Structure 1
């Protein structure tokens, strides 16, 4: 086959372009620090990176949910701890009043009990980021009105779930009636003697307008102090103790969930580190290798230019000039 000058020129240009493409790829790798910038560079590597990036993004979402849940638990636990402190103080006052003869001293204790009752109502309406933590689904509304009655219906099924890993959720809200109880017929004493936290089925709970049982206990104690009724003052001590046990149980549940979230966050953070390391290994370029290869491609390109200039023979036009 006859080799023409045109064929030699075309072959040389094709080889030069190939060298330039390799140099351009090497230059891109040096600038970006990545092995590939387009799917065509490494289809398998790109597919793996997409999967790893998706996994890391999902872990980041789960971490954010777990951190938000932890903050929610901390706010809730602080409020529940305050309720516990109020109950301890109320018990102390009731025990003190149970042994008093002076009606004047009981009136002084009554004033403090009334103040503690108001504080209980305030705590029932604790909020986190503008959301009321005890109000079930209706987080934009308070749990209790100023008289200690439930503003809205709240049922056992009104749990707010946060996804903290694949296939794993945790309910973050503590339903108000589980903490404050229900006593629809206050001041009926029978409604105060046993803690009523609203049953166990999903549709059980508190109805709008019903009195929070814990508020009823405090109001009954206040009335007994005002009436100088030693019998009812004595009964209030046992009622307070029962509610204190319930509050401590609720607080324990919140504490357990908080610890679970702390462990979840630690695990998620470690998973993020591991997946990020895999991602880096998959797509980050070895800069020493890239630079060495780039210099080699550059030398090949320069040699090709020099050789091509010698191989391509002068044409008739060159002689005419």
Structure 2
């Protein structure tokens, strides 16, 4: 049995899947299997994946398109390993990524979640290192408070996370009904119960400009995390409460930009009025009230700056 099962959901990533697979096959740590979950792509994704020859690769074909969460769950059900490493079909691993994750599993046996830092790639020339709330974390270790560390920006991306299989046996898989921001819901459930071993080494390129990336997607007819469901847990966990409200804020802004005022108002009104409890600053509260056209203009300016390698945020 391989030490890692690498799970790659594949849907319409014909321009990226070959490079993604090569980054896996070029790992310095070679004890792994690769499960590609082909989710009925309408382009040449499967053909491109099949052109990368390796006896480590297994392609599992869905009979109908089921979405990202269902594809990950198919991978989980078919994985033969105890450690499941997730990789989006457009992201790239550094050759030392799995070696570092293996090291974390050996050095921190009480952990069930394992991850590394990453960089965001906005073009072939523009790469930005995320600015997170994880302080004084220069060496590998257990993250003391996942929710506090992720208030500003995620300390790991979906492609830099590895999960011990028994986590899914305890909390279940990804929620198949959520089709926008699927990882938020899973991160809450997983990190509330289990320890995260983390390396600040940036060993994953998170490609931000590819086809059907969430950053390019509309919220229309999409279902997001039910933040209210987790409020009972947040009553005794201050940082979780802030995490819920910060994510409400970000989703509310997205709804407002897309002129969905019903969902914008619902999420905005769910954010706690006390900034010491919600974690929202004055700038964020002002942004929530700006007209849709102004928010759309700000988004366009931010996109222009990103292409120049400049990232601004309200945090």
Scaled to the shorter chain, the TM-score interval is: under 0.3
Structure with more relative contact order (C-alpha pairs < 8 Å, separation 6 or more):
1
Looking at secondary structure, tell me which structure has more helix per residue. Answer: 1
Name the one with the larger strand percent.
2
The higher radius of gyration belongs to: 1
Instruction: Give TM-score, length-normalised by structure 1.
Output: 0.21
